[in-house]
Amino acid sequence: MAELKPILLVEDNPNDLELTLTALERSMLANEVITTRDGVEALDWLLSRGPHANRDPGDPAVVLLDLKLPKVDGLQVLERIKSDADLRHIPVVMLTASKEERDLVRSYELGVNAFVVKPVDFKEFFKAIQDVGMFWAILNEPHPPRSRSTPMKVTKG
């Protein structure tokens, strides 16, 4: 059986963080949930640097990324993930209260895998988080692992 990858949750709002963690827990997912509170901490975790330099190796099953974050915003984190050859295969779900079309368009331009607007209604929010967690952590077939030290071979045909 494949090892369960963690879910990386990047959320600065304490209420949204608590609700999201509760919803994921009630989904009965066995995946560990790693939480970071801003874009810098999320990138430090993903890149195994700074306070996360000695973390267990491996990528998350999915990054649940808030759009409006302190220090480095969600779009900047997304851009960094999708521009890095070692990280771009990681699914990123933008989880935001923003309904602005420019945020949606920019997220997809940068390579987001899904854009979920946080419902205002408590029950809807819970259901949305549970569905997102189940899909990306259980149902989605992830990119096959590859060594970060081994470059991908490109063949011309």
* pLDDT at 148 > cutoff 60: no
DSSP string, 11-58: ---HHHHHHHHHHHHHTT--S-EEEESSHHHHHHHHTT-GGGTTSPS-
pLDDT tens for 74-125 read 999 999 999 999 999 999 999 888 889 999 999 999 999 999 888 767 788 7
Residue 21 near residue 6 (C-beta atoms within 8 A): no
The token pair that represents 70 in the structure block: 């302190």
Neighbours of 53 (CB within 10 A): 9
Q: Which residues contact 36 (CB under 8 A, 6 or more apart)?
A: 8, 9, 10, 42, 44, 45
What is the structure's pLDDT at 23?
85
Q: Quote the crossing angle between the two packed helices 122-134 and 14-26, to the nearest 10°.
A: 60
The confidence score (pLDDT) of residue 111 equals: 97
For residue range 32-86, list pLDDT tens digits in order. Answer: 999 999 999 999 999 999 999 999 999 999 999 999 999 999 999 999 999 999 9
Note the pLDDT tens digit of each residue in 1-33.
Answer: 457 889 999 999 999 899 889 888 888 888 899
Give the per-residue pLDDT at 58: 92
Measured in whole angstroms, how far is the alpha carbon of residue 22 from the centre of its chain? 17
CATH class of 7-139: alpha beta
CA nearest to 30, candidates 2, 55, 11:
2
- Contact status, residue 87 vs residue 81, Cβ threshold 8 Å: yes
Token duo for residue 91: 């699914």
